[in-house]
Chain A
Amino acid sequence: MRYIPNSPEERAEMLNSIGLNKSAELFASIPDDLLLREHLNTPAALSELELLSRFERMGQRNAGPGRVSFLGGGAYSHYIPTIVDHIISRSEFFTAYTPYQPEISQGTLQAIFEFQTLVCQLTGMEVANASMYDGSTGLAEAVLMAERVTKRSRVIAAASVHPQYLEVVKTYVQHAGIELQLADFDKKTGQISSTLGERIDDQTAAIVVQSPNFFGCIEDVAALATLAHARGALMIVAVTEAISFGLLKPPGACNADIVVAEGQSFGVPLSFGGPYVGLFAVREKYARQIPGRLVGEAYDKQGRRGFVLTLATREQHIRREKATSNICTNEGLIALAATVYMETMGRKGIQEVAQQCAQKTAYAARRIGELDGFSLRFSGPRFNEFVVRGPAEATSQLRRLARDRAIDGGIALSRFYPDCENDFLVCVTEINSREQIDSLVEGLRDFSNE
């Protein structure tokens, strides 16, 4: 996409044709006292040299490399092959606006088509869209979609879904006439309580679970789907750690109806919360209710293969307030990063990353569980995260660990659950070496001796 500037002559011509003399007259309807007359109070422009050194000084305030991180909870550190940045930095892709017009955008559309294909293979579903803003907004859209499909308005979400995802869902549905209920998790296993089935009735549009859930425990999605389907409700599965697809049975094979996932683990760095990318996949029979864009394969008059946006008649720019969603775009560049990651790693590569995560996590959990004063809070099966119950208030202990040993040892759960003062969530991925895990264990051992 090219930005097309206009010359002073062209501007004069345009103004002339609408009967104005200068562009300021375009703003004549704005009351005089609201017009900005003086310059904004911003610092003067810097030279390139000054600017670079200013940012270098700012950059030095970052904790920087050398720190060891065991933070997860929806944002994961994974190795990013250098080819990811190389491909997405190509100027054909690296634009602020994703061009979808098939006449000029076959490359972009083909990349999105490949993304959709890979998301289907990964989740075990039949149709995937061109991506959502992130996992949490994807989950909110899944809830809205379940209401459209079932024409029912009550949704039961597991309390073990990421608390921030639940907040986003609440924000989306609170004025949409959808009642969101929370179903508690089993305090021993950390999994959704089996009594959930009793709460599903013929007014339930969907049940929502995350697996692995916020505490790292893997849910029995197939059993929950059976309960949902028995009452005509949909099964929505959210995944915050996409690498888990490499090891766990795909939600599609567990009879999920809608699968949403955060794709950050696939080649997207951790940079202060974004940009991320949402994966969204459904059963084919629900394709017409899927939010957002879909790229389809088509053939031109000469029989040549090409790619076009499909089902766009249901989008907001055509169907206004009756649209399936008010997302009329996708997370193009980040979806491309995820596509390049998946294609580079391949099926085997993603499996291997997932296995390393699971094995290193098992080692870390065992070592930490053996420490005096520390225990693993939940017995449910885990992937690469687990909750540790420490001997004292977790926030201050984690802060000391960060300060004294440069280890970010986990997320204190009291941030989300005030009654979980001593609990923290530990995440281990393939980038954490055995030495790093051992140094975390040693750091925690100091606390058990206090």
Chain B
Amino acid sequence: MANVPEDLHYSKDHEWVRPDGDVATIGITDYAQNSLGDVVYLELPKPGEEFATNESFGSVESVKAVSEVFTPVAGKVIEVNEQLNDTPEKVNSDPYGEGWMIKVRMASPGEVDSLLTAAEYEDFTKAESE
């Protein structure tokens, strides 16, 4: 059973968002990393780049596939997890912690309320895997 922390917000593309004021930390969920398999490479944006909601901000390459990752909320990238260049496997081992990908300054912080709650995301993944 995939781990779905209560305090985060989720997208249907399997990203999670942890808001802190107007800054959102973004990564992919435990369910997503598990479906992708061993992550070997990440292509992430540079600080300063701006993204609209649901825009592709990079890609995650696993041994099986390359998948796009999308911004659940609009905003400007203020920090990128550079550690993933050397240790992409953190996305698998600690998706909600050291496996975070980017921090964005949200264009409208209220946007997180339109995302799924932990319970809703859990139902969504259940429906998807059935």
Closest B residue to A313 by beta carbon equals B66
Stretch at the interface among B21-29, B57-65, B118-126: B57-65
- 4 nearest CB pairs, A to B: A313-B66, A319-B66, A313-B65, A314-B66
Extra pairs beyond A288-B43, A313-B62 (4, CB < 8 Å): A288-B41, A313-B65, A313-B66, A319-B66
Determine if A318 is an interface residue (Cβ-Cβ < 8 Å).
Answer: yes
B68 contacts chain A at the CB level, 8 A cutoff: yes
Name the A residues within 8 Å of B63 (CB-CB).
313
Residues B68 and A318 in contact, CB atoms below 8 Å apart: no
Chain A nearest Cβ from B48, distance in angstroms: 13
Interface assignment of A322: CB less than 8 Å from any CB of chain B: yes
Q: Are A322 and B61 neighbours in the complex by a CB distance under 8 Å?
A: no
Of the candidates A288, A313, A314, A322, the one whose C-beta lies within 8 Å of that of B64 is A313
User: Min CB distance, B42 to chain A, in Å?
Assistant: 11
Contact with A319, one of B41, B43, B62, B65 (Cβ below 8 angstroms): B65
Within 8 A of B (CB), among A123-151: none
For A288, what are the chain B residues with a Cβ–Cβ distance below 8 Å? Answer: 41, 43, 61
Please determine whether A322 and B68 come into contact, CB atoms closer than 8 angstroms.
yes
- Within the complex, the shortest CB–CB distance from A140 to chain B, in Å, comes to 23
Chain A 21-44, CB-CB to B under 8 Å as 1, else 0, gives 000000000000000000000000
**Which residues of A are found within 8 Å of B43, using beta-carbon distances?**
288
For residues 61 through 87 of chain B, which have their beta carbon under 8 Å from a beta carbon of chain A? 61-66, 68
Residues of A close to B64: CB separation below 8 A: 313
Expressed in whole angstroms, the Cα–Cα distance for A406 and B124 within the complex equals 77
Contact check, B68 vs A313: say whether CB atoms are below 8 A apart.
no
**How long is the Cα–Cα vector from A434 to B87 in the complex, in angstroms?**
62
A309-332, CB < 8 A from B: 313-314, 318-319, 322
Bound together, the chains give a CA A319 to CA B68 distance in angstroms of: 10
Which of chain A's residues have a CB closer than 8 A to the CB of B41? 288
In the complex the two chains form, what is the Cα distance from A322 to B62 in whole Å? 15
Question: In the complex, what's the smallest C-beta–C-beta distance from A32 to chain B, in angstroms?
Answer: 44
6 A-B residue pairs with Cβ-Cβ distance under 8 Å, sorted by A, are: A288-B61, A313-B64, A313-B66, A318-B65, A319-B66, A322-B68
Chain A's closest residue to B61 (CB) is A313
Residue from the set A288, A313, A314, A318 with the largest chain B CB neighbour count within 10 Å: A313
Closest Cβ–Cβ distance, residue A167 to chain B (whole Å): 32
In the docked arrangement, what's the CA distance between A288 and B44, Å? 13
Which residues from chain B contact A318 at a C-beta distance below 8 Å? Answer: 65-66
Cα A319 to Cα B66 in complex, Å, equals 7
Q: Mark A352-374, 1 if CB is under 8 A from B, else 0.
A: 00000000000000000000000
The residues of A that contact B68 with a CB separation of less than 8 Å are: 322
In the docked arrangement, what's the CA distance between A318 and B63, Å?
A: 12
How far is A395 from B57 in the complex, measured between Cα atoms in Å? 56
CB neighbours (8 Å) of A313 from chain B are 61-66
The residue on A at minimum CB distance from B49 is A151
Q: What's the nearest-Cβ distance from chain B to residue A326, in Å?
A: 15
**Assembly CA distance A314 to B40 (angstroms):** 13
Most chain A Cβ neighbours within 10 Å, of B43, B61, B62: B61
Q: How far is the CA of A288 from the CA of B41 in the complex (A)?
A: 10
Beta-carbon contacts of A160-203 to B below 8 Å, as 1s and 0s?
00000000000000000000000000000000000000000000
Task: Provide the bound-state CA to CA distance between A288 and B43, in Å.
Answer: 10
B7 CB to closest chain A CB (Å) equals 33
Looking at the assembled complex, report how far the CB atom of B70 sits from the nearest CB atom of chain A, in whole angstroms: 13
CA distance A314 to B64 in the complex (A): 10
Interface centre among B61, B62, B65, B66 (most CB of A within 10 A): B66
Question: Which A residues are CB-close (under 8 A) to B66?
Answer: 313-314, 318-319, 322
- Contact residues in B for A322 (Cβ distance below 8 Å): 66, 68
| Chain A residues whose C-beta falls within 8 Å of the C-beta of B61 in the assembled complex | 288, 313-314
Tell me the minimal C-beta distance from A94 to chain B in angstroms: 33
Provide the bound-state CA to CA distance between A137 and B122, in Å: 48
Task: Tell me, rounded to whole Å, the shortest Cβ–Cβ distance linking B38 to chain A.
Answer: 12
Contacts of B62 in A (CB 8 A): 313
The B-contacting residues of A in range 267-308, CB under 8 angstroms, are 288
Taking CB as reference atom, which chain A residue is nearest B40? A313
Q: Which residues of B contact A314 (CB under 8 A)?
A: 61, 66
Q: How far is the CA of A314 from the CA of B68 in the complex (A)?
A: 12
> Closest approach, in angstroms, between the C-beta of A245 and any C-beta of chain B?
31
CB-CB nearest in chain A for B63: A313
Q: Which residue of A lies closest to B64 (CB)?
A: A313
The chain B residue with its CB closest to the CB of A311 is B61
Docked CA distance A319–B62 (Å): 12
Q: Once the chains are docked, how many angstroms separate the CA of A313 from the CA of B68?
A: 13
CA distance A412 to B80 in the complex (A): 57
Q: How far is the CA of A318 from the CA of B64 in the complex (A)?
A: 9
Q: A319 CA to B43 CA in the complex, in Å?
A: 15
Q: Which residues of A have CB within 8 Å of B65?
A: 313, 318-319
Cα distance, A318 to B62, chains bound together (Å): 12
Expressed in whole angstroms, the minimum distance between the Cβ of A13 and any Cβ of chain B is 34
Q: How far is the CA of A319 from the CA of B65 in the complex (A)?
A: 7
Nearest-neighbour CB distance to chain B for A63, whole angstroms, equals 52
- What is the bound-complex CA distance between A185 and B23, given in angstroms? 52
CB distance from A296 to the nearest CB of B (A): 12
- What separation, in Å, do the CA atoms of A101 and B64 have in the docked complex? 16
Q: How far is the CA of A318 from the CA of B36 in the complex (A)?
A: 13
Chain A residues numbered 44-103 whose CB sits less than 8 Å from any CB in chain B: none
